[in-house]
Structure 1
Amino acid sequence: MRFWRRFLTILAAALLLALTAGCGGKNTGSMHQPATKPAPKETLKGKVVIFHAGSLTVPLDKMAKEFERLHPGVKIEREASGSRTAARKVTDLHRPCDIVAAADYTVIDDLLYPTYTDHNVLFARNELVIMYTPQSKYAGEINSKNWYKILLRPGVNYGRSDENADPCGYRTLMCWQLAAKYYRDPGLYEKLNRGCPPRNIRPKEVDLISLLETKTLDYVFIYRSVAEQHKLPYVTLPPELNLSDIRYASFYKEAAVRVKGKKPGEMVTYSGKPIVYGVALLKNAPNREAATAFLKFMIDRNQGLRILKECGQPVFDPPLYKGTLPPELKEAALKPAA
């Protein structure tokens, strides 16, 4: 309990600093600084394999291109999936990987630490929104107050990601549970859950975008950064429901979702908390030198963090960390989470 009190205190301070610094949205202006030139004697080479959350696809693509320009001998290979699926590629399938980046830092805590990594770097935030297209049913009518009434109208189709594969999936279920409390409608969670059949559920949240574009779905629950990156309209949710505001952390805890655990047949309970992303360098990273260099790039305020902000995603500056950082990362400007 002492750890979590200390961690939440530091997290609250970091969120407040980020908000007062104007890091809550896009930043394409004065924050941009020239990338550091590569060292005269380039030693980095080979491929770096990253398993990552689908919501990081766009910013990681931009980071990879910039890093490869600085280090021509390195190829960044990225594989997007739900964050829990990304971790299980390491734990269950034993696939070679250098870095895992998750949309929920607790995925790294629960599935990878301490066997596969000895640290967890908390680097970004997000919020839950409802994305749609101009062709969605009642697109001109839906707003932050009536969204649940619109979704429950006959003929409206909405979707989410799989809670066992993707944090956005269990966060959506948490949002619905909190909505039942917030709107004082005890049956609302069951109504929303029944209204989203298995055919409307996908392994990761970005898989839902094509269903919107083909008009298979009218609305999807997704992260705000993804909606902004794809330039699609979205409905913001009250801070009590969007899992972004540290001030409502105690209320978020009132929501809980059961998901598959580490072992076959095991189920674990995830409780609601503010959305925080985590990234870790694996102990057995095949290309440790280049992977460490990329991770440093990723969490540098003038490089990876800048790109994240330009892609509409709030960051922690400086990032926080849990566990024991490897010697190669200790020179990075990180702040302990506890």
Structure 2
Amino acid sequence: MTRSARRTRRTTRSLQVAGVSAAALLALSACSSSDDASSDSSSTPKSSSSPKLTGTVTVFAAASLKESFTSLGKEFEQAHPGTKVTFNFGGSDTLAASITGGAPADVFAAASPKTMAIVTDKKDAATTPATFVRNQLEIATLPGNPDKVSSLKDLTTSDLKVVLCDKTVPCGAAAQKALDASHLKLTPVSYEQDVKSALTKVELNEADAAVVYKTDVKAAGDKVEGVEFPESADAINDYPIALLKDAPNAEAATAFIALVQSPEGQKVLTAAGFLKPTA
């Protein structure tokens, strides 16, 4: 074999060895990268979704919230399949007494801070009450306003049958505040335990007029006619809401309260005639 041939064979062998070494290095690098990726993957925590809400949420709420809260309850159930929102609507003072008496409930939405205080004073609220809406009074008359009621003073006419909420109920306390501010005295044909009962008297033509909330007049549609009066601006009620201490379904109840306070919830409430809370 010539010297040139031997030199060619050595060069070829060196290139083959270099090729094998390079391939081995590439393989080792790939394995190392794979191991690192596997290690990184196993060390990265998986994102956990919030637990699914289930069960019944029991809400005690002022009668004037009936239409808007019923709507929000349906929205909540659609957003959280497996949940159910049940309501107990009535006079805030009666509801507060039931709560302090041990009635099982998750949420309390009152029509005044005074009635909410019945619950908080007994340490039966788990959270600090937060005002979520406000409401203003209006006079509800028979359709067409046949008695031509145009002011709060007109209700003092002796031949008019007027209904008020009981003074212990927020709408009754607000009406009395407006009457006192106007130095007017009014003796109603009856005092009702909640605002819906007062409004029903007019709807059934058992009374000529009632002092109720704007939201209730709006909800009644053409069954009554509303008459605004300036003194109502001095008797606007704040509506507080709170999670109750022994709430059977606190997690879902907290989510319902969040819906009420959310922009979506506020949209439903303002559409019903409620005023936004002051900043």
Range of TM-score over shorter length: 0.7 to 0.9
* Partner in structure 1 of residue 175 of structure 2: 172
Residues 104 and 275 of structure 1 are in contact (CA less than 8 Å); yes or no, is this contact kept in structure 2?
yes
Question: Mapping of 1:1-338 within 5 angstroms?
Answer: 43-92=52-101, 94-113=102-121, 115-117=123-125, 118-134=127-143, 137-138=146-147, 141-144=148-151, 147-148=152-153, 150-164=154-168, 166-180=169-183, 188-189=184-185, 192=186, 195-197=187-189, 200-231=190-221, 232-238=224-230, 241-242=231-232, 244=233, 274-301=236-263, 303-316=264-277
**Cα distance change of structure 1 residues 114 and 60 upon mapping to structure 2, 3 Å threshold:** same
| Structure 1 gap segments, 5+ residues each | 1-38, 181-187, 245-251, 253-272, 319-338
The equivalent of 1:26 in structure 2 is none
1:16 aligned residue: none
From the two aligned structures, give the one with the greater helix fraction: 2
CA contact (8 A) 1:136 1:215 kept: no
Q: 1:122-142 deviations in whole A, cap 9, x for unaligned?
A: 11111111111226541xx22
Corresponding residue for 2:35?
Answer: none
Q: Which residue of 1 aligns with 2:6?
A: none
1:155 deviates by 2.8
Q: Please report the RMSD computed on the Cα atoms of aligned residues, expressed in angstroms.
A: 2.1
SS in 2 for 1:316: coil
Contact 1:113 1:119 in 2 (8 A): no
Other structure's SS at 1:170 match: helix
| 2:239 aligned counterpart, secondary structure | strand
Structure 2 unmatched ranges of 5 or more = 1-47
Percent identity over the alignment is: 27
Task: Please state how far the C-alpha of 1:163 moved relative to its aligned partner.
Answer: 1.8
Q: 1:135 to 1:276 in 2, by over 3 A?
A: same
